[in-house]
Structures are given as structure tokens and as C-alpha cells.
Amino acid sequence: MELLDGKKVSTEVLNEVKEKLSKLDKKLGLAIIWVGNNEASSIYIKNKLKKCEELGIDGKLYHLEENTTEEEVINLIDKLNNDDDVNGIILQSPVPKQIDIINCFNKIKPSKDIDGFSNISLGNLVLGKPSHISCTPKGIMKLLDYYHINLEGKNVCLINRSIIVGKPLFNLLISKNATVCMCHSYTNNLKEISKNADIVISAVGIPKFITKDMLKDGAIVIDVGISRVDGKVVGDVDFANVLEKVSYITPVPGGVGPMTVAMIFDNILENIK
């Protein structure tokens, strides 16, 4: 069994980003829009801004009140779209119920859509055209590539169908000639599918959801889930339970999470020609 060490790989990626940024004539800018006061969001944003500082990126937070209207969010996005000092825009999820987050994503200029959630970014991904790729799927693919895991002909059980993880990752996997079964809460025979998969990727947010009886010998397991149990961060996979059956596995924390953060800045760098 070998750990897919996202902390190690993300550090290497960020060191490369920092080196490239140091050679630029201008300082890049990242704008983060946060509507409301979601506790988890505050932690994610703090980490992103800290990483901006470490890399020499001008990170700015636009914190809006819980009762902010969708129109006000869009007006801010328009302003940032037209600001040449802003190279990337992130609209932090979740947003209050009065805001249509997909509509807001689609107002972000494609070149500044660092998260890759707009219709244009996702559409380009499906068509195989250049675009920013959602950070978690992109991070997973970079992690697999780093460890020389060949996806060609592999059977993949992907448990998630969101635009944040499942749908973009599905397209990235099939572009590498994997055979992908996308599963979700309505999948009836999940155990049968996962047990026949070479690679199992879970992003359901249920602690210890993936157990060894759901895996075949030598399976590769990518754990995207994040939950808190007794004050500790855990993933979807019953880690200790499955170790004897897997060939590769991502830890939580220290697996996919650091890769997601690293890809934000990798995407910003793509804007620089």
C-alpha cells in the first residue's frame, strides 16, 4: 500500500508556481467573494488568503452581508471582471438561498473563472477545449499523474455527480480512456459496482462510507470527502479498515484537500501568457 501524498505534491506544485510568479513584472490578484458567515467557508478563505500571501499574490476578500441580493453580487462580479489587477475571481460556496449561485458563476469572465464552474468552462471541458478546470478534479488528476497511475482501460467507480467534483472529473477521466461509472444517492447496486472497480473515488461526505467489503484487492482509492467526527477531520473511507486491500489511497487530511488549494493558483498562472 502506498499513500497518495497530496501535501507533498501540492507543495511541489506551489513551489513551481511561486518560482514562475517571481519572474513576472506584475503582481497577480485574486478576488474572493464571500456572502454570509458560513463557518466552514471562513476556514477555507483564511487558508486561500494565507497561501496568496506566501506566493506573493494580492488576495482580496469581499465579504458581503447574509441579506445581500443576487443583483449586488453580480454588480461586484462585473466590477471585478473589468479590473485589470484581478486575475481570478472566486465566489465562495455555499451562498444564501436568495442567490442563484450558478447564475452568478456564469457572470464571471471565463478567463477569471478560476474555479471552472461556469457553463463556458464546463462546456469547454466536455468539448476538449482549453479552459480552467475545477480545482478538485484537476488536483485529483495531477495526483494520479504524479504517481504514474495509468488510467487507460481502468474501470472507475465515481461516487458524486456535482458540478464541483463529479461531472468535471468524469470528463477528465474519460479523456484518459478510463471507463467510468458515475454513481450517486439513487444508485441501487453501488457495492457491486465499486467491488469491480480498479479505482474508487468517493465524494459523499459520509464518514466511513467506503469499507473493505466494497473494494476489490489492489484497488486505488481516492477519498474526497471531508467530515468532522469528535473534533477530527475524516473522509468517506474507513481508512484503517481498507488498508489491507488497497494498492494506493489518499489520506484525509493531507490528500485531495491540499491539491484543491494548489490548483487555484495553478489556474491563476494559466492566465499569464
Catalytic residue among 5, 51, 92, 223: 92
Q: Give the residue-averaged pLDDT of 56-69.
A: 97
Dihedral over Cα of 261, 265, 266, 267: its sign: positive
pLDDT bracket for residue 273 (50, 70, 90): low
In tens, the pLDDT along 226-241 reads 888 888 889 999 999 9
The per-residue pLDDT for 47 is 87
Fold of 135-257: Rossmann fold (3.40.50)
pLDDT at 7: 96
Q: Which three cell numbers stand for residue 72?
A: 449586488
* Average pLDDT in the chain: 95
3-state helix vs strand vs coil in the chain, percent to 5: 40, 20, 40
Q: Do domains 25-109 and 135-257 have the same CATH topology?
A: yes
> Alpha-carbon distance 32 to 180, whole Å?
33
The one catalytic residue in 5, 51, 107, 115 is 115
Give residue limits of the domains in the chain: 25-109, 135-257
Residue 10's pLDDT band, with cuts at 50, 70 and 90, is very high
Residues 5 and 258 sit within 8 Å (Cβ to Cβ): no
- Asked if 233 and 226 count as a contact pair (C-beta separation under 8 A), the reply is yes
Burial class (CB within 10 angstroms; exposed 0-12, middle 13-18, buried 19+) of 199: buried
Has 142 been annotated as catalytic?
no
CB contact at 8 A, 37 and 94 = no
Average pLDDT over residues 200-208: 96
* Residue 235: predicted pLDDT: 94
CATH number of this structure's domain 25-109 = 3.40.50.10860
Residue 41 pLDDT class (50, 70, 90 cuts): confident
118 confidence band (pLDDT: 50, 70, 90): very high
- The answer to whether 79 is a known catalytic residue is no
The Cα diameter of the chain in Å comes to 55
- Whether 145 is catalytic is no
